[in-house]
Structures are given as structure tokens and as C-alpha cells.
Amino acid sequence: MIRLLYRLLTDGPLLPVPEFDADQAVLDRSLARARRDVRRGDWTAARAVIDEAGDDWELRGRRIGSLSGLAAGDRGWLDSWLAAAPEDPIAVQMLAATLSDQAGRARGSATADKTSPQQAHGFHTLSAAAAEACHRAMELAGPADPNPWSERLGTMFTGVGPEEFDEIFDEGRRRDPFHFDLHSYAVTWRCEKWFGSHESMFTTAREVAAAAPAGASVVLLPLFAHYEYALSGFTWGADNTDKALAESRRWFRGPEVQQEIDSLIAKWRAGTPHPATAQMLRQWVALFYSLAGRRKETRAVFEELGPYVIPHHAWGYLYGGGEYGYLRSWFWASGLKHRSRR
């Protein structure tokens, strides 16, 4: 029925209708199998798939992050793993990531003035527990593994001094100078809404993007910095969401922003995008093209993304909801005659 309705309303061929299915959206099939087995209580599947990543730290970190999301909802299999192998460095990293995930869920995504004391308390308590697990993971980690240091940065949003933050960040960079999650946490921590400024946020993002080789995931971090800028500058506290969205679009349609982001996308595509983060980064690019009013490019990226996605939270920054923002842009890019206002 949806395909028939679409054909009645559009002029062009039908794009795959997006479905928000977390398991189907996992292109890493080894990880998808491990997620299935973990749900059945088999913690050895989690250990095996993480160990399989070897010293591909970005892949390793992404697999830990995906599986920790399952553990945050049901820790039974992780607790069994820790009971069987309490000194296993992978298990301790998984615990740290799980506690960090639970801290984020406890706080929620609202602004500080709309976060209850109970939510803030849960966030601080779980972040402290995650930090403790991170320190243990650092003690057990191999000499080149940056992931415990990356995860530790993610626990520092309860408030620490810049010297302590820089110490962790510098050690993580020594181990992997272009580690995506490490730098992503740094960009966020140094943004104006947390503990930095627009200037420090953009500097962190642009420095690593300029130094990184073509295809590296960190090449697109300045694009994420622009989303953070638009979030704090145009949407937070805005009474008129349409006006906030219009202001965001004007920002992304500015010639300097267009030139910078186009050059970053070209550099990212000139190499081999890392499969662990490529789908998420394609969503960043689709959001940029959509806000910039570039329908052809937006549609091409949606075609790359395919029918199964997990909408990134950046969509919610500017549209008020991740799934809503994704679908609204998808309909526009698909060429509906009944178009939403751009």
C-alpha cells in the first residue's frame, strides 16, 4: 500500500522505504550474529567477536559499543562473563561501556534545565562507576589499545578540569592519533554547551580532520561540530521550531560552510571509509545535503544508506526527533509532489 501511495504522489522511482530496525541496520554481520547469540545468554560470542577485531581499534570500539547497548538493558550475560573471567580486559572494557551507556540513559537527552534532580543523580552515580571501571580497563589494556581512554573521556561530562581531560585525551591520541570515538568525545566535551567554546570545539575537530588521511572517519568531525553549533545557537530554548530550522538551514547554506563541508566530504570519500562508522557518517552527510537544500545529493546518500537504519541523534538536534528528521528529509529527497517546506 505504501508503495502504491508513493507512486501516486511522486514522479520518480521509489527509494527503499526506511525501516528503523537496529539489528537489520548492522552491516557488520559478525557483530549481528554475536548480538543474536548474546541475547540468548552466550557471553563467549561477545568476547569472540571483539577479539576478532584485533588491533582495528575503531572496529573493536564500535563492537564494544553495540554490545554494551544490549548489556545496558539486560546485564545478565555480562555479569556471567565477569564472574567467569573478572580479569579479562575485554570484559572490563565492556563493563565500563555498559555503565557509561546506562549513565546516558539515566540522564536523558534534555537540556540541563529540563533534567530532573533524580536524572542528574543517576547520571553522576553511573558515570562515577563507569570511570572506575575505565581505570581498571586501563590497567589491563594492551600497550596500544586506546579504547579505555576513549571510554574514560565519555565519563567526564559530570565535570572535570581541563588538565585531567587533556591527560586522558593525549594518552589516547598517543595510542591512536586518529581514533574516531576518542576525538568525537573531545569535540563534544569542548563544545559550548558542555565545558568549552565554539572556538575550542571547531579547533579540535579541524585539527584532526586536516591531519588525518583520506577516508579516515575523523575527517568529518568538523561537520558534526557544525551540528553542535546549530543546536546551541538556533534550536535550544527556541519557542518557534520552524524558525530555528530555518536559521539552521541558512547557516548550512552559507558559502563558507558549504565550501568547508564539501571539501571534507571529498577527502572522506577519496579514501576507504571505515565500515564501522561509514553508515553513521553517511547520515551526517545526508543531513548536511538536506539542510543545504541539495536534493540530488541527498537522494544519492539515502540510496547508499539503504532501507535499514538507526537514525543518528544529529537528526534530532535540528528536527526535534531522530526518526522524524530522517523521514522528513527522506520524503523530500524522494521527490514527493506534496513537499514539506524547505
pLDDT reported for residue 341? 47
Taking the C-alpha atoms of residue 317 and residue 235, their distance in angstroms, rounded to an integer, is 8
What is residue 132's three-state secondary structure? Answer: helix
3-state class (DSSP) for residue 41: coil
At residue 336, the pLDDT reads 66
Buried b (16+ CB within 10 A) or exposed e, 132-164: ebbebbbeebeeebbbbbbbbbbbbbbebeeee
Residue 174 confidence (pLDDT): 97
Residue 4 has a pLDDT of 45
Task: Give the three cell numbers for residue 316.
Answer: 534530532
Could you state, in chain order, the average pLDDT of each consecutive group of 10 residues for the chain (342 residues)?
49 70 84 93 95 95 93 90 95 93 72 67 81 93 95 85 92 96 96 92 98 98 96 75 89 96 98 93 97 95 92 89 91 69 49
Lookup: cell for 320: 526535534
Let me know: does 286 contact 329? Beta carbons within 8 Å.
yes
Which residues make Cβ contacts (< 8 Å) with residue 293, sequence separation at least 6? 249, 253, 342
Are the CB atoms for 196 and 251 separated by under 8 Å? no
